[in-house]
Amino acid sequence: MAHHATDHNQPIGEIPKPVTGWIWKTFFVLVGVTALEFAVTFIMDPSTFRNSILIILTIFKAFFIVAEFMHLKHETKGLIWSILVPMALLIWLMVALITEGSAIGEAIYSAFS
């Protein structure tokens, strides 16, 4: 409550002090995860398992950007869902078309074998 009292005592027209702690926290999370992605890319050999780790880390980063920087975490539930539900369909699109790509490749390269 003491904090509130100081707010009220502030003279009109005075600009409040910036509160930036959460911004820098988010920044360090993003930098840390990017560094981790780099480490994973160069330490591990290319495989589906490595790529899955990279994709999970990417979604983790995306969550922080959308939730904190774009402030979506603090919006109403309706807005959050109307953004997230259509995005979830894109995962389906991607899995479907990558499978399709493998099938096309298979058909081309092993048509005469």
Partner 1 sequence: MSTTSTTQTLPHNASIERPRSGTWDGGNEPFKASYGKLMMWFFLLSDAFTFAAFLTTYGLMRHRHLAFTGDHAKFEFSTAYWPIPDKVFNSFPGLHGMDLPLAFVALMTMILIFSSVTMVLAVEAGHRMDKADVQKWLLWTLLFGATFVSCQAWEWSHFIHGTEEGTKMLDGTIFHGANLQMNQYGPVLFADLFFFITGFHGTHVFSGLVLLTYCFIATTNGTFEKRGHYEMVEKVGLYWHFVDLVWVFVFTFFYLV
Nearest to 68, CA basis, from 106, 42, 29: 29
Pair 37, 54: CB distance under 8 Å = yes
Instruction: Quote the strand ranges of the chain, DSSP E.
Output: none
The site that binds partner 1 (CB under 8 A) totals a number of residues, namely 51
Query: Hey, what amino acid is at 98?
Result: I
Q: Which is closer to partner 1, CB of 2 or CB of 28?
A: 28
Query: Hey, what amino acid is at 10?
Result: Q
Q: Is 30 in the site for partner 1 (CB under 8 A)?
A: yes
Nearest to 23, CA basis, from 83, 73, 64: 64
Q: Is 44 in the site for partner 1 (CB under 8 A)?
A: no
Q: What does the binding site for partner 1 look like in residue numbers (CB under 8 A)?
A: 15-16, 18-20, 23-24, 26-27, 30-31, 34, 37-38, 41-42, 45-46, 50-51, 54-55, 57-58, 61-62, 65-66, 69-70, 75-76, 78-79, 82-83, 86-87, 90, 93-94, 97-102, 104-105, 108-109
